[in-house]
Structure 1
């Protein structure tokens, strides 16, 4: 393709974005930096180094491990059993080439989430061989034995070769004396059709939160990981919302960043590649979702302001391009009005009428799957998945025969809830606004501790 044609396409894409997305403001942040300056020096010491031989000389580079649970012969009263759990949430889902489902989330036996070090938290890996009807917890990522470390924001994703990878985010309080107090570690499944698969040794990715959103895979097999420096939330003069581009062997190519935006909270950006080759992403903000675009493969980004349709107010949504070319958005279908300091949460029904939320007055309900026919400019098709309580943090995986699997959490520490749900659908279901495919389903339970004798009880303070 000639340079002239490329320039014309970029110009046309910019005009389209400006005209169809009101509120677009061009703000280029032309920053690519040395990955090591952001991720830290991820070079590992030699195997003989004391830091590599737990429990001696523990540092931020001492490798974590996965703990196998619920295997034949294991004592039934291990510390990670579900009937001790009283808090859990933030799930992810992936599916093997053979159709085995995998899910992960973090939880605790003693408390709700406690940032920044997440003490007493661990991440669970669960699997299903029968399309989500039954689940078994099979591994735990629990760094508590390493100086009281805690786990947060786990991730499952499928790489360009079809391998399923798990990312565990570890947090250890080194009293400010180790640049890897927070560190992301990636393990790869060796046999994803086996419930107790073997894993590769963990790879140190960096010292940022890099495990909330699945990486973007480019046609050439390179990937782009979304990053955020949660320690800098609320500091308007600090760059923190970044992207890491890696080659097919995992070597960093560049790190880029969004311009500073004080409206951004835990940004949780998840870009897609549009038909013209440009990148588009939403990111989480105080009054809804803002968007950004890149016309050079993610090296520089333009901020576009708040997206015209309000959804997922200060909470996570996800974007994914489907094989058909349509764009899937999974988000909370809730809008908000503010008057005299009072917030009113509502949604707009199929007739265009506003309906005030009465039972669950929160932005985190009405989890909904949307479809776009025009590269994310509009999302006219939608299917309500769940409005039973506080519902948040979706993740999606694509199976065979057009199946779309979506997980999300309900009431992370709420008595009788703290549930991980799974829904399965097709594009046809979302286009119809209801389930029309005989194998589709909504809200199957992946995990609910209160069904297993656990969960938060009356009088528990977490």
Structure 2
């Protein structure tokens, strides 16, 4: 169980620098698009960071069966996201490669897959890819699916092109909106340029007035302790940038991956990823300024992604790796506490990225007293969640991104009642349904492959 009880004093003891808001253009770049007849809009000529990307339809009737994005060529994949249409069609996205593991900063030979399920996640079909490789060898990273205030599903893809330092949009986030999410080969809106930062790992926070708060980070600055990186972009209900707020530089932060919630008193609370666990921050003015609070008193999701979401019941959902760490003999040892409170060693593999767990809070996120283990089979990471109309909670995560026989995207469908009971009690719930596993289709990494 995760508790924040007597440790409330920690909020006041930690030095609390107030973050500031800045002009969005100074952070995102000038996202104004050139005119339609500008050379940058005429692929393949005059390619710039503002040349719009596109989505490619795959696995449609009449397509050649040997296209380059087919699953039996894939050797690496991970970082999934999930969303659901109003009609109950599930959508998922993740990135993958036929050549290698993830390679920052340009992610060459990497593309994002969009898949869908019309039978509540039992079977899946890959239907689109976001692949910038034909634009000067560009690569894709960190895709996102989310549902906007009007219920429309949007896809965000990050494109990375090596312009040799000559273009401020070498890395750029682009957003597409589904036109018919009940159709497996839906049409899409024209892409909208969001900015030149990573704005696609965490789902935006939606305010009651329809405005949103997007989490973003400058991954190029990871490892630079004095750099300002952890930011939020506020957009009004029409999508216009209102402000960008910043947290002070934090040398412990890695890929921050912050995901705020709105508390009952209107304040905002977020975790963000750090080297020894999750740190937290609060805002009492709608995200304009933030008060960092230091490390959360209990460890979970050590230097990896977790997610927070307020449920219709008012409870707060946390999905995280339920693993703690201690130093012994100069090495990090990972452990967890069983149902009796006893420490148990993690492994094999000995990693903090396992024991994917769903937690619930009854007190607005101050304590998480209920939990249910979702998966502890190998290296498990990067959860994403969405809610069905009937209260079902759909959660995806990856397993062993480049591990032989794995590189799996899993889906678990659960309810609040399951988490409260600590086990599946709802007859419609299920754990670890396979969304995608290339090795089941003749693909995947093989012995001798070096990624």
Equivalent residue for 1:44, pick from 12, 33, 36: 33
Give the distance between the partners of 1:261 and 1:24, measured in 2 at CA. 17
Q: Is residue 379 of structure 1 aligned with residue 368 of structure 2?
A: yes
Q: Is residue 139 of structure 1 aligned with residue 128 of structure 2?
A: yes
Give the distance between the partners of 1:160 and 1:144, measured in 2 at CA. 32
The alpha-carbon distance between structure 1 residues 130 and 20, as it changes in their structure 2 partners (threshold 3 A), is farther
Q: Aligned with 1:144: secondary structure?
A: helix
Equivalent residue for 1:296, pick from 285, 306, 315: 285
Give the distance between the partners of 1:337 and 1:31, measured in 2 at CA. 35
The alpha-carbon distance between structure 1 residues 20 and 422, as it changes in their structure 2 partners (threshold 3 A), is farther
Q: Which residue of 2 aligns with 1:343?
A: 332
Q: Which residue of 2 aligns with 1:396?
A: 385
Say whether the 8 Å CA contact 2:92–2:114 is kept in structure 1: yes
- Count of residue pairs the alignment pairs up: 448
Q: Which residue of 2 aligns with 1:9?
A: none
Superposed displacement of residue 358, structure 1: 3.3
Superposed displacement of residue 28, structure 1: 2.8
Say whether the 8 Å CA contact 1:172–1:181 is kept in structure 2: yes
Q: Which residue of 1 aligns with 2:305?
A: 316
Q: Which residue of 1 aligns with 2:238?
A: 249
Q: Which residue of 2 aligns with 1:95?
A: 84
The alpha-carbon distance between structure 1 residues 224 and 444, as it changes in their structure 2 partners (threshold 3 A), is same
Say whether the 8 Å CA contact 1:22–1:308 is kept in structure 2: no
Say whether the 8 Å CA contact 1:94–1:103 is kept in structure 2: yes
> Which deviates more from structure 2 when the two are superposed, residues 372-381 or residues 184-193?
372-381
Equivalent residue for 1:118, pick from 101, 107, 113: 107
Q: Is residue 285 of structure 1 aligned with residue 274 of structure 2?
A: yes
The alpha-carbon distance between structure 1 residues 24 and 406, as it changes in their structure 2 partners (threshold 3 A), is farther
Q: Which residue of 1 aligns with 2:23?
A: 34
Give the distance between the partners of 2:172 and 2:105, measured in 1 at CA. 12
Q: Is residue 415 of structure 1 aligned with residue 417 of structure 2?
A: no
Q: Aligned with 1:29: secondary structure?
A: coil
Q: Aligned with 1:77: secondary structure?
A: coil
Equivalent residue for 2:140, pick from 138, 143, 151: 151
Runs of 4+ aligned residues of structure 1 deviating over 2 Å after TM superposition are 16-24
Question: TM-score under structure 2 normalisation?
Answer: 0.98
Equivalent residue for 1:69, pick from 58, 62, 70: 58
Q: Which residue of 1 aligns with 2:448?
A: 459
Q: Which residue of 2 aligns with 1:235?
A: 224
Give the distance between the partners of 1:242 and 1:126, measured in 2 at CA. 30
Q: Aligned with 1:37: secondary structure?
A: helix
Give the distance between the partners of 1:345 and 1:52, measured in 2 at CA. 51
Q: Deviations over 1:404-436 (max 9, x none)?
A: 000000000000000000000000000000000
Q: Which residue of 2 aligns with 1:5?
A: none
Q: Is residue 425 of structure 1 aligned with residue 414 of structure 2?
A: yes
Superposed displacement of residue 340, structure 1: 2.9
Say whether the 8 Å CA contact 2:7–2:297 is kept in structure 1: no
The alpha-carbon distance between structure 1 residues 296 and 17, as it changes in their structure 2 partners (threshold 3 A), is farther
Q: C-alpha root-mean-square deviation of aligned residues, in Å? A: 1.3
The alpha-carbon distance between structure 1 residues 186 and 47, as it changes in their structure 2 partners (threshold 3 A), is same
Give structure 2 stretches of 5+ with no counterpart: none
Give the distance between the partners of 2:8 and 2:123, measured in 1 at CA. 48
